[in-house]
């Protein structure tokens, strides 16, 4: 018997703005509407960023609270995952919404390059974010931008820094980080099974045009999907 | 016929000081003496950091020049590799010794975490260092602290940013970066062969107590050694 495939919807990354694509939902009402459509279509997890009025990334806890409430009202049972990613703020600001006790939050456990800069996740910030997630009962989704991040999650789990079995998301196709490569993808899956057990869930996200490829690979290999 | 095994000696990392280990060579004269002993014992490459009088890391081109000259005088034919690693300086300071035209220089092509901080190698600095190495005819040794760094080297080689076939060093055992893991090591070797050809040379460095393990693995798998 195969498990049902969990679909995780990230309706807005933190980068696209209305000027790039007029269909990108910006306001909380637009986001809730878009997430609701995905929920009706079967998505189980909503991966959420919030934005300022001009479309720039925000980490305002009030915006996150409104979005979380909208999803809970309109999409009962949907898992709310709030982003603590670095595009929306610096340092501990990134975790300011964790007291809202969302079901999940993203957690980057290492650093890597992004297209034009360093994606900085210093060890003390990672530990602090993980601690906040423990305090508020938030399940982390480990964002693996590189292979060592999966091992780092293992070390953190062994040290009691993460609640339960780590849920790892492979992120591929970001320029200057890990490219979309089938052998690496297979090694990622193998590594998750080796470190966390054959039943450990995982998901995969491809950036931009790579999303379809990663969805196909993940669906065939028993992972969850990010759309 | 198997190729001779190249031994690369890194007599001083950038971290240890006299206070940690009184045997660590600090002055240029002490370093040359220590490298010379390794050279007599068969080491072919000297991987060099320089230090201030108090033992702290330096990136002073004059110190590098004196060390390079000392090695060339006392160890004729030994390959001189100067470190452009981030412990000794910030930004372009790190490449200030490249006009000395050493045979090789280390080049980190991505970012990752170190025990207490982010090891920052922003994309524009990486490109600048690679450009200086091209300008001065310096062969880079790619420091792979994580898997994506090997892929980044491939992209840079294809873009004409690196001279010749990349020479990759796997670095394992740094806390918060890639741990010492046999399956990862094997996948690293496989990836180098896949991306750069079966004859592409590579080497491996384990940090501290891991050095012996990595030497054994590398010698058995056809790589070069860092001692
Ligand atoms: Zn997901
Ligand atoms: Zn996100
Ligand atoms: Zn070496
Ligand atoms: Zn070094």
Residue B56, C-beta contacts closer than 8 angstroms, at least 6 positions apart: B17
The count of structural domains within chain A is 1
pLDDT digits (tens, 9 = 90+) for A191-210: 999 999 999 999 999 988 89
Residues linked to residue B130 through DSSP beta bridges, in sequence order? none
Contact by Cβ (8 Å): B50, B86: no
Question: Per-residue pLDDT for A17 more than 70?
Answer: no
Q: Given pLDDT bands bounded at 50, 70 and 90, which one contains residue A217?
A: very high
Q: Is residue A95 part of a domain?
A: yes
| R_g of chain B, CA atoms, integer Å | 16
A116 contacts in chain B (CB < 8 Å): 123-124
**Taking CB atoms and an 8 Å limit, are B147 and A151 in contact across chains?**
no
A136 has pLDDT over 90: yes
Question: Cα distance from B204 to chain A (closest Cα, Å)?
Answer: 16
Whole-number pLDDT of residue A72: 95
Q: In this structure, are residues B169 and B143 in contact, taking their beta carbons and an 8 Å threshold?
A: yes
Name which of B109, B146, B152 to mutate to probe chain A: the one with the most chain A Cβ atoms within 10 A of its Cβ: B146
Q: Nearest Cα to A79, choosing from A113, A103, A96, A54?
A: A103
Q: Which ligand is the nearest neighbour of the Cα of A83?
A: 2
Domain limits for position A19: 7-226
Q: Residue B41: inside a domain, yes or no? A: yes
Q: Considering only the beta carbons, identify the residue of B113, B117, B123 that sits closest to A113.
A: B123
**Residue at B2 is within a domain:** no
Gap from CA of A121 to ligand 2 centroid (Å): 15
The confidence score (pLDDT) of residue B131 equals 98
| pLDDT given at position B119 | 96
- pLDDT (tens, 9 = 90+) of chain B, 227 residues, equals 234 456 777 765 555 555 666 666 778 888 999 999 999 988 899 999 998 888 888 899 999 999 999 999 999 999 999 999 987 778 999 999 999 999 999 999 999 999 999 999 999 999 999 999 999 999 999 999 999 999 999 999 999 999 889 999 999 999 999 999 999 999 999 999 999 999 999 999 998 889 899 999 999 999 987 76
Q: Which ligand is nearest to the CA of B14?
A: 4
The shortest C-alpha distance from B142 to chain A (Å) reads: 15
SS3 call for A46: strand
* Chain A residues closer than 8 Å to B118 by CB: 111, 118, 120-122
Chain A hits for B111, Cβ within 8 Å: 111-113, 118-120
pLDDT over 70 at A11, yes or no? no
Set of chain B residues whose Cβ sits within 8 Å of the Cβ of A113: 110-111, 121-123, 126, 152
CB A38 within 8 A of CB A222: no
What are the residues whose beta carbons fall under 8 Å from the beta carbon of B83, sequence distance 6 or more? B14, B47, B48, B49, B105, B106
Å from CA of A204 to ligand 1 middle: 7
Cβ pair B88, B14 in contact under 8 A? yes
Tens of pLDDT along A167-198?
A: 999 999 999 999 999 999 999 999 999 999 99
| Residue of chain B minimizing CA distance to A153 | B176
CATH of the domain at B151: 3.20.20.70
Q: Is residue A21 part of a domain?
A: yes
Which chain A residues contact residue B179 at CB under 8 A? 148, 151, 155
Tens of pLDDT, residue by residue over A104-124, are: 999 999 999 999 999 999 999
Q: What's the Cα-to-Cα distance from B79 to each of B76, B101, B116, rounded to whole Å?
A: 9, 12, 32
- Is residue A2 included in any domain, yes or no? no
Residue B92 domain-assigned (yes or no): yes
Interface touch B177/A148, C-beta < 8 Å:
yes
């Amino acid at each position: 018997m195969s498990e049902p495939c969990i679909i995780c919807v990230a309706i807005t990354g933190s980068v696209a703005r209305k000027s790039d694509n007029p269909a990108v939902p910006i306001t909380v009402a637009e986001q809730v509407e878009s997430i609701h459509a995905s929920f009706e279509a079967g998505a189980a997890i909503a991966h959420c960023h919030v934005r300022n009025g001009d479309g720039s990334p925000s980490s305002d806890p009030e915006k996150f609270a409104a979005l979380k409430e909208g999803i809970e009202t309109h999409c009962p049972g949907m898992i709310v995952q709030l982003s603590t990613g670095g595009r929306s703020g610096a340092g501990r600001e990134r975790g300011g919404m964790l007291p809202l006790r969302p079901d999940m939050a993203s957690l980057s456990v290492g650093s890597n390059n992004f297209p034009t800069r360093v994606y900085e996740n210093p060890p003390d910030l990672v530990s602090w974010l993980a601690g906040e997630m423990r305090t508020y009962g938030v399940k982390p989704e480990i964002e693996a931008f590189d292979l060592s991040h999966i091992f780092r999650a293992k070390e953190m789990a062994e040290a009691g820094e993460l609640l339960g079995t780590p849920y790892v998301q492979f992120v591929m196709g970001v320029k200057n980080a890990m490219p979309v490569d089938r052998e690496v993808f297979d090694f990622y899956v193998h590594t998750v099974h080796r470190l966390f057990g054959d039943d450990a869930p995982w998901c995969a996200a491809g950036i931009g045009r790579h999303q379809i490829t990663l969805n196909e690979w993940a669906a065939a290999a028993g992972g969850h999907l990010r759309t």
